[in-house]
């Protein structure tokens, strides 16, 4: 992006994004001018202490984000396993009903033999004085043999199926219980990290809390500036697909809604809850967590990304945002924040994935 174009934008990040991207999509998301430091600002020692607090908070919230991914993954697995247990239970019920009917048929065949004096059909046939009866009966005996053999085989197979269904159901139930424990453990991790972060913030004076917010913005602005100065935005000019446009429209409509771990809307979201629901609204289901989105979706070079693509952040893929175009993203940042717009380079980029790989741009 040229310096003249960047010079058009000189206000704070959130305002610039909201006005620039939503009102005039053709204008690039440029690096905002840092907020002026109050003349009676903190002493260097105090500023250093606040910077340490900011880094500590970032570390705590990142740990909470990782635990949130663990929680979401465990929840997704639990939902699938619950559905599998229900499906197996239905198979068992149907199998038991089938086995009952087969046993009734086998019982009826045994009763018919008993009524014949306990002699098998072949014996009755040999004792017949009528040659024609003998010939007609021979066919019926063969049919009877096949039917009996088939009945016994079906009984055996049904019993084996029921045993396998029971084993599978037991195995799925154990997995379900393990998943619930993993989910509960992840929830404890999340709550612990967030509680520590909230305690740390609550111990700050009002002026310090305000300054902390400024420090967060300054750190994001610094990273965004470095990203833009690399010239990368000059190479990014991809056009969104129709589904990509719908996904971006959904995500931006959620701006201002609170972050909540494990949430998928419609009132609150976590980072991957926002991106997954945005793409579901566009007609394409994608993995629930940022880590699975990174693993399963098609990887795209940063310079080839287009609006609707997902940017995965940090080495552990613990955060995800949706690229809007012009160097901007929409994302759910962390607890205590709302869905907002930020610079695409404001956090360390791991890579980019495309939910609708193969779809034509428009």
pLDDT < 50 positions in the chain: 1-27, 32-40, 45, 119, 125-127, 134, 141
- What size, in residues, is the chain? 362
Residues assigned a catalytic role: 271, 319, 331
Q: What's residue 293's pLDDT? A: 96
Q: What's residue 128's pLDDT? A: 53
Q: What's residue 87's pLDDT? A: 81
The overall pTM is greater than 0.85? no
**Distance in angstroms (rounded) separating the CA atoms of residues 27 and 29:** 7
Q: What's residue 37's pLDDT? A: 45
């Amino acid at each position: 992006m040229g310096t003249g174009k960047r010079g058009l934008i000189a206000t704070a990040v959130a305002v610039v994004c909201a006005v620039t991207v939503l009102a005039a999509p053709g204008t690039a998301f440029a690096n905002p001018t840092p907020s002026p430091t109050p003349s009676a600002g903190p002493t260097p020692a105090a500023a250093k202490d606040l910077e340490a607090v900011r880094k500590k908070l970032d570390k705590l919230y990142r740990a909470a984000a990782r635990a949130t991914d663990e929680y979401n993954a465990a929840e997704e697995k639990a939902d699938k396993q619950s559905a599998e247990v229900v499906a197996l239970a239905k198979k068992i019920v149907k199998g038991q009903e089938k086995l009952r009917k087969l046993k009734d048929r086998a019982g009826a065949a045994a009763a018919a033999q008993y009524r014949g004096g306990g002699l098998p059909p072949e014996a009755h046939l040999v004792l017949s004085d009528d040659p024609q009866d003998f010939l007609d009966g021979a066919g019926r005996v063969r049919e009877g043999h096949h039917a009996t053999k088939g009945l016994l085989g079906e009984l055996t197979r049904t019993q084996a199926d029921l045993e396998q269904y029971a084993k599978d159901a037991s195995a799925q139930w154990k997995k379900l219980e393990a998943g619930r424990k993993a989910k509960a453990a992840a929830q404890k991790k999340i709550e612990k990290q967030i509680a520590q972060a909230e305690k740390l913030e609550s111990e700050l004076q009002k002026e310090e809390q305000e300054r902390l917010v400024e420090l967060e913005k300054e750190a994001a602005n610094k990273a965004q500036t470095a990203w833009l100065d690399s010239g990368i935005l000059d190479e990014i000019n991809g056009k969104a697909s129709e589904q990509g446009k719908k996904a971006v429209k959904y995500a931006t409509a959620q701006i201002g809604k609170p972050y909540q771990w494990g949430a998928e809307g419609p009132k609150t979201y976590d980072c991957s809850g926002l991106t997954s629901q945005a793409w579901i609204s566009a007609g394409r289901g994608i993995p629930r967590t940022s880590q699975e989105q990174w693993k399963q979706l098609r990887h795209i070079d940063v310079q080839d990304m287009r609006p609707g693509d997902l940017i995965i952040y940090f080495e552990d893929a613990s955060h995800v945002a949706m690229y809007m175009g012009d160097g901007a993203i929409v994302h759910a940042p962390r607890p205590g924040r709302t869905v907002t717009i930020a610079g695409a380079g404001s956090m360390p980029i791991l890579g980019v994935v495309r939910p609708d790989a193969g779809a034509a741009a428009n």
